[in-house]
Structure 1
Amino acid sequence: MAVPIGVGMVFQSMYYLVDLYFVGRLGADALAGVGAAGNVSFLVMALTQVLGAGTVALMAQAAGRKNQEQVGRIFNQALVLAITSCLVMMLLGYVLTGTYMRSTSATPGVVEQGRIYLYWFMPGMALQFVLTTMGSGLRGIGIVKPTMVVQLMTVALNIVLAPVLIVGWGTGHAMGVAGAGLASTLSLAAAAPALAWHIHKLGHHVQIKRSLLKPRLDDWWRILSIGLPAGGEYALLFLYSAATYWAIRDFGPAAQAGFGAGARLMQVLILPVLALSFAVGPMVGQNVGAGMPERVRQTLVSTIGLISSITLLLCLLLQWGGESLIGGFAKDSDVVAQGTQYLRIASWNFIAQGVIYTCSSVFQGLGNTRPALLSSAVRLLSFVLPVAWLSARGDFHIVQVWYLSVASMFLQAVFSLWLVRREFRLKLTPAMGVPSV
């Protein structure tokens, strides 16, 4: 399952790399602005995961019980919630964009570039509610290839549109950061009908049916009761990243641009790990529904072992090649220096991230995502409070932010493992049987 998920995610990440490549040639303000604006993707991911996590957990367990009627009903109810959320996101996004950008940067040029980018990318981000829900529904029953195919198609479209719209290839009309946002929005707009067509073509019991689209509040509550803590986990990631931008705002556009470029590179490199962890949730959920708790434990152990070896290699890659990777997207020497320093320290986070992602997917499969939210809250507090204290001191240095990031990430990883063991003792003991949601 992880291979098609990973391929799709890698190609989806090309949105960011293509934008980063061309935006990096527009100057430090543009690169920093798009980097800070791109942090909103964490918030969008948080909100989409409210639907995605609940959909995966409920559909996987229903599939494990061979309850096809429930599988189809949950899919359609999640889709209704997704469309509603898409519209709300559009409205709030345009209202709050300016406030967010002013809170993350003290430089007017960076604020303006980020605001323009978000205005053009907002419709695309809103559409991700629908795309995530359809993809999660398929993933919950073990079907991942259609989502990968659609992602490949939309990335190809984005690669074509980005140079045309950002720098004006073939048209002579360069839109700058607005073109970066518009290219991504147009690509995502093409993805929604394409994925719906693939679902219809499958002829599976997961279909969009008008008779199942009538709102059912009990199903909505079941989706949200699992999804809200999972979404809260990603919302804390948004707050974590926003706090980082706040902490380094006085170090100048080069520092913000270096961090933004480095963070995006790490997001791309971690995708194979994220794909493996995404495959864990449906496997755990189906084995829970089928009453096979020992397979749940085996899935956790096997995945952590595989992921740990991959993350160690990723860490070593950035220790030795971080400067070359940053140099491919930024030409300003100060930006390259700042980004390289960030990568060499923050790359150690890969190891802890692999454990955290795996544990979070296990919680989704078990149908209880509150522990993942709790572990993320511990990380946020263990990072923000020391950073706030240090930033008030006269000897505050940017490297202190990066070292605190690593320390808080490893603390979360250890705490997440402890919470998983606790859930196993509570829910997978023979005396208690296997949980259902």
Structure 2
Amino acid sequence: MRDLTTGPISGHVVAMSVPMAAGMFLQTLYYFVDLYFVAKLGDAALAGVSAAGTVMFIVFALTQTLGVGTVALVSHAVGRKDRPAANLLFNQSVALGGLMMIITLVGGYALAGVYMTTLGADEATVQAGTTFLYWFIPGLALQFPMVVMGSALRGTGIVKPTMVVQMLTVLLNVALAPVLIAGWGTGHPLGVAGAALATTIAALVGDIVLAFYFVRLEKYVSFDATQWKPRAATWKALLNVGVPSGGEFAAMALFTGTVYWILGGFGTAAQAGFGIGSRVMQMLFLPAMAVAFAAAPIAGQNFGARHFARVRETFRVSAIAGAVVMFLLTIVCQFEGATMARIFTSEPEVIAVTEEFLSIISWNFVAMGVIFTCSSLFQGLGNTWPSLASVSVRVGAYVVIAIWLSRQPGFEMHYLWYLSIATATLQVVISLVLLRMEFRKRLG
């Protein structure tokens, strides 16, 4: 356990965010490695896998529900120096994660075909996306054990073991991707199925290694089967904090799904270009997200210890750091969008879509950095409903206006990107107002 209630806030932010950024980068590299080899299979395969990848947002909504609730409540218990409560919360999170794994497997296989039929631009895209999902769904289900263990560690102020395991799984995924996708060394390429299978195998290995760490090395929280029986009060507390954060990811799934659906009218190249641009954007968000993710347990432990001035300082330090990083990345996107697109494709039309997307959408990067920080502070305070309210307003406005615009004469793709900037600006204003209200209510 690392005590985050003493020492400089900036030092804690750096100490936690750097390894988390490395771990998140490596985890994102999963999808970039797959994307690189899948892009070689053609536009239909690329568009299908990209569209299928939006299912990750739905599963991430569940993992976020589980992870945020665990981080917030464990960090509060650690701040109070209440180890038994922290251990109970961890084991109840294990039980809840098992239920979510079952929901992901059953729901994923039941709805995969319908989902891809709705979003795919043509039959080839639908087929590629459906095949990918059938092999990818087990890998998504395996995210829950990783999230439970990693979140419990983060709540206690420990992040390096999770980063090391993520590094291991990425290296395994990198090794498996060319073998399974392109058939290197075997002569039996599996195409998009191989991309999904590589990720699924890597996730399984990661779960096993992290579980071994918990059994052999972790002392503050540990597996205790006697505490796995569901306790309604504990599940309610976890879900009360986690559900709104999961709702944020569900809202973003709706956001992304709406864009893919609208872009279907522009053809496969448009969907493929947006898919590449979205993955690049996700990677660029990682430094700011790491800073924000570090802020949640820091704020949580200090809130549990009733060190309210340190909670406010956590927001100030994290928001400034996130905004500065995102501003620098905005500049990169203004000049190097095409360069980043060419890593994955040589198709001029796809590159053009990606470049335009990144050059426009990057203007909301600073706002997103502040939004990430606000969201994490809500998590640290144990009330994530305001964060859900702000993203709901943004996504609701975006979906309604985007669909209306798509039906107007002369509609063009870049209208969607400018609309995203406008709605992100709206969200950051709402988030800051709600966070200030929450500070006054909870911190005095």
Same fold (TM over 0.5): yes
Q: How far 1:214 moved relative to its partner?
A: 2.0
In the other structure, the counterpart of 1:228 is: 243
CA shift in 2, pair 1:119/1:413, >3 Å: same
2:437 maps to 1:422: yes
Alignment of 1:99-138 (within 5 A): 99-138=114-153
Question: Is the contact made by 2:394 and 2:424 (CA closer than 8 Å) also made in structure 1?
Answer: yes
Q: CA deviation at 1:200?
A: 2.0
Which residue in 2 is equivalent to 1:146? 161
The separation in 2 between residues aligned to 1:140 and 1:324, in whole angstroms, is 39
SS in 1 for 2:40: helix
Q: Does 1:315 align with 2:330?
A: yes
- Residue 272 of structure 1 corresponds to 287
TM superposition score normalised by structure 2: 0.95
Q: How big is the shift at 1:350?
A: 1.4
Q: What amino acid sits opposite 1:202 in the alignment?
A: L
- Structure 1 window deviating more from structure 2 (292-301 vs 99-108): it is 99-108
CA deviations over 1:15-65 (Å, ceiling 9, x no partner): 011011101111111111111111111111111111111101110000000
Q: How does 1:368-387 map to 2 (within 5 A)?
A: 368-387=383-402
Q: Secondary structure at the match of 1:270?
A: helix
Residue equivalent to 2:80: 65
**1:289 paired residue among 304, 325, 341:** 304
Residue type at the aligned position of 1:35:
S
Stretches (4+) displaced over 4 A:
none
Note the alpha carbon deviations across 1:335-354, whole angstroms, 9 max, x for none: 11111111111111211110
- Aligned length, in residue pairs: 429
Alignment of 1:12-411 (within 5 A): 12-411=27-426
CA distance in 2, matches of 1:296, 1:390: 42
Q: Structure 2 CA distance, aligned partners of 1:384 and 1:209? A: 45
The residue type paired with residue 247 of structure 2 is G
In 1, the alpha carbon distance for the partners of 2:105 and 2:231 equals 24
Which secondary structure state, in structure 1, belongs to the residue aligned with residue 383 of structure 2?
A: coil
Q: Identify the match of residue 2 of structure 1 among 17, 22, 41.
A: 17
Corresponding residue SS for 1:347: helix
* Structure 1 residue 102, shift from structure 2 partner: 1.4
After superposing the two structures, state which structure 1 stretch, 206-215 or 189-198, moved more. 206-215
Q: Which residue of 2 aligns with 1:413?
A: 428
Cα offset, 1:316, TM superposition = 0.6
Q: Counterparts of 2:364 and 2:345 in 1: how far apart (Å)?
A: 23
For 1:305 and 1:261, locate their aligned partners in 2 and report how far apart those are by CA, in whole Å. 29
Counterpart of 1:433? none
Where structure 2 has 5 or more consecutive residues not aligned to the other structure, the ranges are: 1-15
Pairwise CA distance, 1:333: 1.1
Would you say the 8 A contact 1:166–1:175 is kept in 2?
A: yes
Deviation at 1:277, TM superposition (A): 0.4
Give the residue type in structure 2 aligned to 1:390: L
Give unpaired runs (5+ residues) of structure 1: 430-437
**Contact 1:25–1:331 under 8 Å retained in 2:** no
Rounded Cα–Cα distance in structure 2 between residues aligned with 1:203 and 1:136:
13
Deviations 1:96-115 (A, max 9, x none): 01111111123111111111
Paired residues of 2:288 and 2:321 also in contact (CA < 8 A): no
What SS class does the counterpart of residue 338 from structure 1 fall into? helix
The percent of aligned pairs where both chains have the same amino acid is 48
Q: Following TM superposition, by how much is the alpha carbon of 1:394 offset from its aligned partner in structure 2, in angstroms? A: 1.6
Cα shift at 1:404: 0.4
Q: Alpha carbons of 1:308 and 1:340: their partners in 2 closer, same or farther (altered >3 Å)?
A: same
CA distance in structure 1 between the partners assigned to 2:230 and 2:78 by the alignment = 22
Counterpart code for 1:18: V
Report the AA paired with residue 305 of structure 1: I
RMSD: 0.8
Shift of 1:411: 1.1
**CA shift for structure 1 position 290:** 0.6
TM value normalised by structure 1:
0.97
